[in-house]
Amino acid sequence: MCTSDDRPSPVRLQAVAALGQPEPTPALEALYRGFERELLVPLWTEIGDLMPMAPRSKAVPHLWRWDRLVALAGEAGRIVPVGRGGERRAIALANPALGGKPYATPTLWAAIQYLLPGEDAPEHRHSQHAFRFVVEGEGVWTVVNGDPVRMSRGDFLPQAGWNWHAHHNAATEPMAWIDGLDIPFSYYTESQFFERGREHIAAHEKTTPERSRSERLWGHPGLRPLSQPGAPAATPLLAYRWVDTDRALADQLALEAEGHAGATLGEGHAAVRFTNPSNGRDVLPTMRTEMHRIRARAATRTRREVGSSVYQVFDGQGRVTVGERQWQVSRGDMFVVPSWVGFSAAADGGSALDLFRFGDAPIFEALHAFREEVDPA
Amino acid sequence: MCTSDDRPSPVRLQAVAALGQPEPTPALEALYRGFERELLVPLWTEIGDLMPMAPRSKAVPHLWRWDRLVALAGEAGRIVPVGRGGERRAIALANPALGGKPYATPTLWAAIQYLLPGEDAPEHRHSQHAFRFVVEGEGVWTVVNGDPVRMSRGDFLPQAGWNWHAHHNAATEPMAWIDGLDIPFSYYTESQFFERGREHIAAHEKTTPERSRSERLWGHPGLRPLSQPGAPAATPLLAYRWVDTDRALADQLALEAEGHAGATLGEGHAAVRFTNPSNGRDVLPTMRTEMHRIRARAATRTRREVGSSVYQVFDGQGRVTVGERQWQVSRGDMFVVPSWVGFSAAADGGSALDLFRFGDAPIFEALHAFREEVDPA
Amino acid sequence: MCTSDDRPSPVRLQAVAALGQPEPTPALEALYRGFERELLVPLWTEIGDLMPMAPRSKAVPHLWRWDRLVALAGEAGRIVPVGRGGERRAIALANPALGGKPYATPTLWAAIQYLLPGEDAPEHRHSQHAFRFVVEGEGVWTVVNGDPVRMSRGDFLPQAGWNWHAHHNAATEPMAWIDGLDIPFSYYTESQFFERGREHIAAHEKTTPERSRSERLWGHPGLRPLSQPGAPAATPLLAYRWVDTDRALADQLALEAEGHAGATLGEGHAAVRFTNPSNGRDVLPTMRTEMHRIRARAATRTRREVGSSVYQVFDGQGRVTVGERQWQVSRGDMFVVPSWVGFSAAADGGSALDLFRFGDAPIFEALHAFREEVDPA
Amino acid sequence: MCTSDDRPSPVRLQAVAALGQPEPTPALEALYRGFERELLVPLWTEIGDLMPMAPRSKAVPHLWRWDRLVALAGEAGRIVPVGRGGERRAIALANPALGGKPYATPTLWAAIQYLLPGEDAPEHRHSQHAFRFVVEGEGVWTVVNGDPVRMSRGDFLPQAGWNWHAHHNAATEPMAWIDGLDIPFSYYTESQFFERGREHIAAHEKTTPERSRSERLWGHPGLRPLSQPGAPAATPLLAYRWVDTDRALADQLALEAEGHAGATLGEGHAAVRFTNPSNGRDVLPTMRTEMHRIRARAATRTRREVGSSVYQVFDGQGRVTVGERQWQVSRGDMFVVPSWVGFSAAADGGSALDLFRFGDAPIFEALHAFREEVDPA
């Protein structure tokens, strides 16, 4: 079957006897051949898949163990160089239901990146938004537009689209961390741009200040520098330090313990969102990033949201439930929660469970398409 | 090769000798097997495809001729009933490069819908945003939340997500029109909801007022009814009539002819956007809709935009250029312009060329990812 | 008593025996003298006036009869020329409780303007926002940035700040209309700028097109010209014609009569707001403008709002109640409703009562300070 | 002269021989008598005052010395009790050109408040927005909706409208601080509400936590608590501590010294704005609050803005220039900068000059009426 352009048509239609489908007849078969030739597809054969009653994700819940990620990243460190072309020694989670593509979920890229002592990852910029999160180790600097940003355990480093950036490992040990990007979304929607920068960052950019310039300008609570007017769509603050995140979570649980139930998201469940200090919104236009702490022996309610998320266990041990799947998790483990699949977590070890989360909710909020359901406590 | 869950892995990696790729060695092969087993994909094998210098659309330019669309829709009218399950006798354009899927572009659904005299399409609602545009014919009513909206040549009828709607053909002739929806985008991002309504619309909803209630409330220029507070994200106005659109386009060209060059988008190129009167923005959160008029013997400049569009020729004849493709077009012909592919049109017949256009630009604007380039005049 | 700068102090404090006041003693007297010398005023003597339980307007309800306004304006036409310096033959309503100042309310200027056949009012621009409303007559043109705008009965012409404008009477009769501006607010907040333009408008600007250029670009319902990007804070549409306003009001009452109670603001009470088509908001950043129609024998509910309004009767006869005052009104009569004073209107003649209204509500909405109360029906 | 209502008219018009005025004649006199009777005022006698070329403030620059403010406040402490009715022992700056009214500028209230050891100021709430700033001392708590907020030198405490609040001095010394409110603006625009609360705050609210609950929820840089959704128009953070403000200013000057000129507002001039962490905007809808630090021997450029400001010297010594006035200032001194009057400051002592500033700029920004001019360096 060829199209009117004399090329083979990719459209394949099959007349079947099924509820809601027209009766298979020679006339219907002829019609379908016409559709194929003209590159047409009727709604009635597709509606069940395309327009379900509620989202049915193409992705599935899945868990990656941190020890295996680190082991393979370390092995890659031994045999795969870092440089222009490949750009980064980053290894992405491939959701088992997404055809072997490097997509943790349909919209999100999640990868472990690995850098040996003294290595540089070359400078580039891209329209995709990115962040780094450090579950262990220290010593790597990300240089953003010439501003070196230290990376240590618990730190969150957003990297808004179209900023020049490179990495350098100034320590004596290899370092691994995770990268989150909206690569699949940008690829799908065909909105991505990329540009290469310098091969090597300058020596003075490899020095290691305790705080980046961005932190010295924007990292003071409730204060903005008058020298930086406007409200950029993505955050101008390049590092959110663990000391602050930890304290904010501890404060919420302490307030709850003092009788202020409204301080937490649910009983024993503290949570903060990383925000753009210039507008109070998510750090990146396409990604929401949060840190959750579930108190020892507490559990979250089950929540179902439009859009997908990736979690990494930052600390503690616990049990997470994603739809039909359930796992015991500990430091570094990563798992995905597909769209409209229920999620809950319980800190069933003797200590709190800290979960880093990123997701695509800002896309749906911007388009007025976000919905959520929370099961009663 | 199986994953750690003992299921076959969809990941397939191949060590190849290529620029920017690590040298194929047994160690690399072993590493790739480990990646496959753990459901991991390295950036360095994917970056060229995933992160190009500028968008490279998976879709291609393509043209569908109106006479063939109408002929096949008419044939479908003879043999495929309309009713619950299939819901609509709608036949979608399938971009030849998108694997036979009913996607005009990666984000947009474009279909011809066809209704015989006396037929009803059953009531439902869905989160996907939709619109109808009528290139010829009249007599069908769309009933939106109980408000019957007449459809005639040149009319544009937006249909915001989650409103109940049904169609009824009250005329003595079949009628065809086009539907535009964000079905592929909703499917890809997994954000869609659907609900079935009444099987049949009530008799009094089949009456045929000249103007819908929505038009009587919201269809007066620069005036809003105080009884309807707020600014809904999608337009409350359910019909934009051809008499208004035509006049607005004629006014722009007349102003240009009187010496006011700034009245048009370019010389001989008038254009209006359909907007939500409650907030002045696009009628739908995910779709931009416009009508363009190119004066006889005039041509537009070539424009390249992030995001894709579908055009239908409303009137006149001309030549359109989409990237490397070029077609002579006339009434009803439909074609797609993929992301970042240049587009221009020329009215080379003796009369003006009127083009209806819809696209996904609001998605990119909402996410601060829109870019465009216009060639010098 | 002099200040520390040796100038007489304007502060005068009196120790009085009163509830909530400190006991008058010599020490208190000495303290008050010290306050006066240092230009200080204690809260405790002022709080009752400055911080009441709810707004107590400095203005009072008042009515001006149209026949007297027109008679005095006509007399001014005979003896006061129009030209540079005085700029306009405009005569402002002075609220009787505001000290003889030309303020209809603390924030609003309302004036009758009068132009003889052939007269020009010279071109200028100012940061104050303005509009014209025409209760009778026709033949005057307002020229805004070179775009002549016809003025006829029922037309509403907003005039955003900092646009050049002049008036010309091209008819054979004198013409009167009303001007509304935010002059008192701008004066009080000290934010006003003014610039003089040409003494005389050009001959070709005195021609009389049926529709201004602004209407041809922006006066089509739900359509925006692509040649005019962005969303200016004040409306780009320079005339809102009576034919549209009248039809919108009639439509609401007709819908109500057909059983759609939600179409009107209250039973028998239709109302539209003039809006900026580029953003759906009020036409001017500081002034809200509306037209209300009360059906024969209907009445509005009593409404109380933060902020003040000025009304002009456009047509019909009725009874209006403003706080403790009540008047029978007819065409052209103007009255003020001070902040937080209840207002209602009844069409007790045989026909509908049409009321044009302008007020300062956008100021309070922008600052999150708006409140309103509506009495039960 | 009486009005048509038989009450004396407040309008007084005088026919004078002056440029731009109509020639004084008996006819003009008669016309003016008619205007007075009908409560009308022509534009031509008022335009010069009402519509100047640029703002001409009714207020004048003025300085209040801190030692005299504290001395008089202390004296008031000895003889004026604090309690219901007077509500606060607050003593307001009265601009010498504003008729003895307690207005520092036409829109702003600035007062010194004074509380003896053990005293309570009773609970109330009002729609006016307020803040406290502490130039010296400590020991007082402001209790906001039951959340006690410690006050110490350098702390800034915003107090959004309509929140219950009371004060308590838990120390052994009297304490003075300054209050800023939008009382004159609210009074002028007649938008104010007030409600009395409890006479006495509870014992447990008098305890003295180091950090308020609001700080524990909202005082972490770039982090928002998920338990507090939305973006309130006024800040939910009730204290901005000096340690943060000081560090932010020091960081800017240090960055400048390291070669990053863009970190400061001008050479040697660091500045931060207090912002609402939920939306990145000013802490209060009507007031902007900032801290400026001018490095020793540096000076600011002269700046002219629509809207007025009040400054208090927080630390250091210097010379400030406001229009034609110039003063040597030191800790605690307060001065006003009227609308469109140029302001500059120089740290001519041996140390930096720290200036706290509050102003009404958010009003003008919200209404699109803000303008500023900065002299070249």
pTM: 0.96
The answer, yes or no, to whether A and D have at least 3 beta-carbon pairs within 8 Å is: yes
Give the HSE-up count for residue D94: Cα atoms under 13 Å, Cβ half-sphere: 25
The pLDDT of residue C2 is 59
Greatest CA span in chain A, whole angstroms?
A: 76
Distance CA B356, CA B346 (A): 14
Using an 8 Å CB-CB cutoff, list chain B residues near A75.
Answer: 31, 34
For chain A, first and last CA: distance in Å? 57
What are the residues whose beta carbons fall under 8 Å from the beta carbon of A336, sequence distance 6 or more? A59, A61, A62, A93, A95, A104, A105, A108, A110, A308, A309, A310, A311, A322
Using an 8 Å CB-CB cutoff, list chain B residues near A83.
Answer: 20
Using an 8 Å CB-CB cutoff, list chain A residues near D227.
Answer: 252, 262-265, 271
Q: Which of D28, D35, D195 sits opposite C91 (nearest CB)?
A: D35
Express each pLDDT in B221-271 by its tens digit: 999 999 999 999 999 999 999 999 999 999 999 999 999 999 999 999 999
- Would you say D306 and D339 are in contact if contact means Cβ atoms under 8 Å apart? yes
Residue D4 has pLDDT above 70, yes or no: no
Closest approach of chain D CAs to the CA of A226, in angstroms? 5
- Inter-chain touch A40–B79, beta carbons under 8 Å: no
Closest approach of chain A CAs to the CA of B311, in angstroms? 16
- Inter-chain touch B9–A96, beta carbons under 8 Å: yes
- Inter-chain touch A221–D235, beta carbons under 8 Å: no
Distance CA D160, CA D142 (A): 13
Express each pLDDT in D140-199 by its tens digit: 889 999 999 999 999 999 999 999 999 999 889 999 999 999 999 999 999 999 999 988
Q: Which of C213, C218, C235 sits opposite B260 (nearest CB)?
A: C213
Residue B1 has pLDDT above 60, yes or no: no
Express each pLDDT in A233-244 by its tens digit: 999 999 999 999
Distance CA A118, CA A174 (A): 9
Exposure of D219 by Cβ count < 10 A (0-12 exposed, 13-18 middle, 19+ buried)? buried
Q: Which of D173, D160, D239, D166 is nearest to D206 (CA)?
A: D166
Express each pLDDT in A255-295 by its tens digit: 999 999 999 999 999 999 999 999 999 999 999 999 999 99
Q: Which of C4, C80, C96 sits opposite D39 (nearest CB)?
A: C96
The pLDDT of residue C85 is 80
The pLDDT of residue B5 is 64
**Cα-based torsion angle of the residue sequence B241, B247, B252, B257 in order, rounded to the nearest 10 degrees:** 160
Residue A195 has pLDDT above 90, yes or no: yes
This complex has an ipTM of 0.96
B183 versus C83: which is more confidently predicted?
A: B183
Distance CA A21, CA A28 (A): 11
Kindly indicate the confidence band of residue B293, based on its pLDDT and cuts at 50, 70 and 90: very high
Give the DSSP letter of residue C205. Answer: G
Using an 8 Å CB-CB cutoff, list chain B residues near A58.
Answer: 190
Residue A22 has pLDDT above 80, yes or no: yes
For tokens 């003298």, the residue is C33
Give me B292's structure tokens: 């363009």
- Inter-chain touch B240–C221, beta carbons under 8 Å: yes
Say which range, B122-131, B138-147, B288-297, C187-196, has the weakest mean pLDDT.
B138-147
Q: What is the mean pLDDT of residues B17-44?
A: 93
Residue B274 has pLDDT above 70, yes or no: yes
- Among chain C residues, the shortest Cα distance to B235 is held by C222
The pLDDT of residue D2 is 59
Q: Which residues of chain C have pLDDT under 70?
A: 1-5
Q: Which of D142, D278, D215, D277 is nearest to A254 (CA)?
A: D215
Q: Which of C244, C278, C290 sits opposite B221 (nearest CB)?
A: C244
Express each pLDDT in D43-72 by its tens digit: 999 998 999 999 999 999 999 999 999 999
- Inter-chain touch C42–D92, beta carbons under 8 Å: yes
Express each pLDDT in D208-264 by its tens digit: 799 999 999 999 999 999 999 999 999 999 999 999 999 999 999 999 999 999 999
Distance CA D179, CA D132 (A): 5
At position A6, the amino acid (one-letter code) is D
Q: What is the mean pLDDT of residues A195-218?
A: 88
**Under DSSP, is residue A90 helix (H, G, I), strand (E, B) or coil?**
strand
- Inter-chain touch C280–B244, beta carbons under 8 Å: no
The pLDDT of residue C239 is 98
The pLDDT of residue D201 is 79
The pLDDT of residue C4 is 61
The pLDDT of residue A141 is 87
- Inter-chain touch D42–C80, beta carbons under 8 Å: yes
Q: What is the mean pLDDT of chain A?
A: 94
**Cα-based torsion angle of the residue sequence D328, D329, D333, D338 in order, rounded to the nearest 10 degrees:** 60
- Inter-chain touch B91–A40, beta carbons under 8 Å: yes
The pLDDT of residue C295 is 97
- Among chain C residues, the shortest Cα distance to B266 is held by C227
For tokens 């005023």, the residue is C41
Using an 8 Å CB-CB cutoff, list chain B residues near A47.
Answer: 85-87
Q: What is the mean pLDDT of chain D?
A: 94
Say which range, A203-207, A304-308, B116-120, D134-138, has the weakest mean pLDDT.
A203-207
- State the chains in contact with D (3 or more Cβ–Cβ pairs under 8 Å): A, C
- Would you say B177 and B130 are in contact if contact means Cβ atoms under 8 Å apart? no
Closest approach of chain C CAs to the CA of D258, in angstroms? 40
Express each pLDDT in A127-182 by its tens digit: 999 999 999 988 888 999 999 999 999 999 999 999 999 999 988 999 999 999 99
The pLDDT of residue C1 is 55
Residues found in chain C = 377
Q: What is the mean pLDDT of residues A46-58?
A: 95
The pLDDT of residue D239 is 98
**D130 forms bridges with which residues in the sheet?**
D159, D181
Q: Which of A225, A275, A278 sits opposite D224 (nearest CB)?
A: A275
For chain B, give the percent of residues with pLDDT over 70.
Answer: 98
For chain D, give the percent of residues with pLDDT over 90.
Answer: 87
What are the residues whose beta carbons fall under 8 Å from the beta carbon of D152, sequence distance 6 or more? D134, D137, D138, D241, D242
Closest approach of chain C CAs to the CA of D9, in angstroms? 7
Q: Which of A85, A199, A212, A83 is nearest to A146 (CA)?
A: A212
For chain D, give the percent of residues with pLDDT over 70.
Answer: 99
Express each pLDDT in D63-120 by its tens digit: 999 999 999 999 999 999 998 888 899 999 999 999 999 999 999 999 999 999 999 9
Task: Provide residues of A within 8 Å CB-CB of chain D.
Answer: 213, 216-227, 231, 235, 237, 240, 244-245, 247-248, 251-252, 254-255, 260, 262-265, 271-280, 283, 290
Exposure of A146 by Cβ count < 10 A (0-12 exposed, 13-18 middle, 19+ buried)? middle
Phi then psi dihedrals of residue C150, to 5 deg: -65, 145
The pLDDT of residue B340 is 98
The pLDDT of residue C19 is 79
Residues found in chain A = 377
Closest approach of chain A CAs to the CA of B193, in angstroms? 4
Residue D361 to residues A218, B171, B195, D180, D312, Cα–Cα distance (Å):
22, 61, 49, 14, 17
The pLDDT of residue C350 is 86
B84 versus B244: which is more confidently predicted?
A: B244
The pLDDT of residue C138 is 85
- Among chain A residues, the shortest Cα distance to D232 is held by A280
Distance CA B294, CA B314 (A): 12
Give me D143's structure tokens: 């209790």
